[in-house]
Amino acid sequence: MKKKLTKNEFLAAFSIVVLMLTAVRLAFPSVRLAAPAATKSQEMATAPEPLRWHRIGSVASYSQAFPDSQSVQIVAAERWGVRPVENRTDAEHRMRELVYVGESPYYHVDPLTSSIPYLVPRAAVLLEDIGQSFFDSLYVKGLPLHQVIVTSVLRSKEDVMKLQQRNGNATDRSCHLYGTTVDICYNRYQALGRSVSNDTLKWVLSEVLRDKRDEGRCYIKYEVKQGCFHLTVR
């Protein structure tokens, strides 16, 4: 009888395959699948153009590009989110509504002390797309691959109460209560090889997030004191 792979084993294997394929793509950008022999004229006509690295840019102003306040984000959170969970036990009983986001080849989740690694499916897809788009953007700009770092996800009412004891900004109507909201760190990244300046990576990430916001997929607030992009799915 064949042994079934556990979720963690599947994610680990998938991550290894993705990283290996990405490494081959970066090391040998001209590699293509084998094809039937072609004439010299056909080869010249179909030969790929030399790879041109894209310019590394950024948004003009972080605060202006990502201005979406709590009052804006809470409307989306209440629309797309779950009924706030009471505590971690309650969260475990709500798995039909939530998706586990603790592991992915495209992002890294910090050890969580005040939140739980779950999101509603709509937000989980958005987070995965952000991580993948960040990979793609790094590649076309000739930069080594890094994962974005997630610092906060779903919070229970119990988590919020504990946070309020040491953080005056914690609110009873936190968007994190609904499983729609993620904090992505902008001053730290998980290097998958050679590392580069955090400022450079922040420029690239800001372009990716601006595009997702412009597509109408999320609201984003640039948090100066917390060192993160606070975003809620739309």
Run of H or E including 218: strand 218-223
pLDDT confidence of residue 52: 62
Tokens of 126: 């958005």
Q: Once rounded to an integer, what is the mean pLDDT over residues 69-84?
A: 96
pLDDT in tens, 58-70: 888 999 999 999 9
Question: For the range 117-122, what are the long-range contacts, defined as Cβ-Cβ under 8 Å and sequence gap of 24 or more?
Answer: 117/153, 117/154, 118/91, 118/153, 118/154, 118/179, 119/153, 119/154, 119/179, 119/180, 119/182, 120/80, 120/81, 120/82, 120/178, 120/179, 120/180, 120/233, 122/80, 122/180, 122/233
Q: How confident is the model at residue 11 (pLDDT cuts 50, 70, 90)?
A: low
Q: How confident is the model at residue 45 (pLDDT cuts 50, 70, 90)?
A: very low
Run of H or E including 90: helix 88-92
Position with higher pLDDT, 1 vs 128: 128
pLDDT confidence of residue 21: 61
* Burial call 45-67: b when 16+ CB within 10 Å, e when fewer: eeeeeeeeeeebebeeebeebbe
pLDDT confidence of residue 218: 98
Prediction pTM value = 0.77
Position with higher pLDDT, 81 vs 34: 81
Domains belonging to the chain, first-starting first, are 54-233 (3.30.1380)
User: In angstroms, what CA-CA distances link 40 with 19, 30, 32, 48?
Assistant: 35, 18, 17, 14
Q: Residues 173, 151: contact at Cβ < 8 Å?
A: no
pLDDT in tens, 177-217: 999 999 999 999 999 999 999 999 999 999 999 999 999 99
**Strand residues in 12-145 grouped as ranges (E):** 99-100, 107-109, 118-119
Tokens of 31: 């590699």
Nearest to 69 by CA among 223, 177, 189: 223
Phi, psi of 182, deg, nearest 5: -135, 145
Tokens of 139: 């590649």
pLDDT confidence of residue 43: 46
Q: How confident is the model at residue 41 (pLDDT cuts 50, 70, 90)?
A: very low
Report whether pLDDT(150) > 50.
Answer: yes
Tokens of 61: 């102003």
Q: Where is mean pLDDT largest: 7-16, 34-43, 146-155, 164-173?
A: 146-155
